[in-house]
Amino acid sequence: MYRVRLPVFEGPLDLLLYFIRRDELDIYDIPVARIADEFLAYVRLMEELDLDGVGDFLYLAAVLLHIKAQMLLPRPPAPSDDEMEPVDPRQELVERLLNYLRYKEAAGRLEAQAEARQQLYTRGVAAGVGDEGGEQGPPPLAPVSLFELLDALRRVLERRAEPPAHTVRREIYSVEAQMHYVEAQLQDGRARPFGVLVSGRSRGFVIATFLAVLELARQGRVWIRLLDGREDFLVEACEATTLEEADVAA
């Protein structure tokens, strides 16, 4: 089984924050019943993709289901003046999210300061000097989050036509083969929607191709960009890769 290990993998709290921001929810009044079901659907998709670090997501999914069960229980009668208000079962989760947000904001400020410092040069050091041996890494995975890509993948799978019921032959696709397939489709330098690359294909083909796109993006060989509506994303060969293929063809 091919396992994807991403250099910048977002955690389960990031997925919760993605839901909250996407649907413009109140972080103090999270609709746990709906969020838990959607969170679990994403976890199942991530298990199918065999993404690294799914165990943490399974734990938080269990926490959400536990909170959901607590909120479905009958509420106790209103307390009297000398009794304490019942504790909201979501309170601990909300506090975790707020603390996590504070750390993310602080990390973002430090990262911005580090990027600003890289633009400064001390006396006697010309631009570009001192970078010898410091190779530039590949471009980032994508200018979008992993969860936005998973959201687009889920929509593509929902639109995919189911194969005929009488089909019994199982097709196995490797990520390496699908990487070659994607690069072959992008040889002309034109960007293509992921849905077009996998149109009319089986679920196994779609998932293997999605993993191939992630790996190509990780290696800096393709760019990924969300389309309007976030129901699909564009895949485009990086310029360096396109030029290299042109040289080989020549």
Per-residue pLDDT reduced to its tens digit, 144-168: 677 888 888 888 887 765 555 555 5
Q: Which pLDDT belongs to residue 64?
A: 92
The answer to whether 15 and 57 are in contact (CB under 8 A) is yes
Q: How far is CA 137 from the centre of its chain?
A: 20
Provide the CATH number for the domain formed by 138-250 in this structure: 1.10.10.580
Q: Which pLDDT belongs to residue 84?
A: 65
Q: Which pLDDT belongs to residue 82?
A: 59
Q: Which pLDDT belongs to residue 163?
A: 54
Could you tell me which residues come within 8 angstroms of residue 210 by beta carbon, excluding any fewer than 6 positions away?
A: 49, 149, 153, 194, 198
Integer Cα distance of 126 and 165 in angstroms: 67
Could you tell me which residues come within 8 angstroms of residue 64 by beta carbon, excluding any fewer than 6 positions away?
A: 32, 35, 36, 39, 40, 93
The secondary structure element, H or E, covering residue 30 is none
Q: How many CB atoms lie within 10 A of CB 194?
A: 22
Residues of the chain with pLDDT under 50: 1-8, 125, 127-134, 140-142, 242-243, 246-250
Domain ranges of the chain: 1-75+87-125, 138-250
Integer Cα distance of 123 and 44 in angstroms: 55
Record the pTM: 0.64
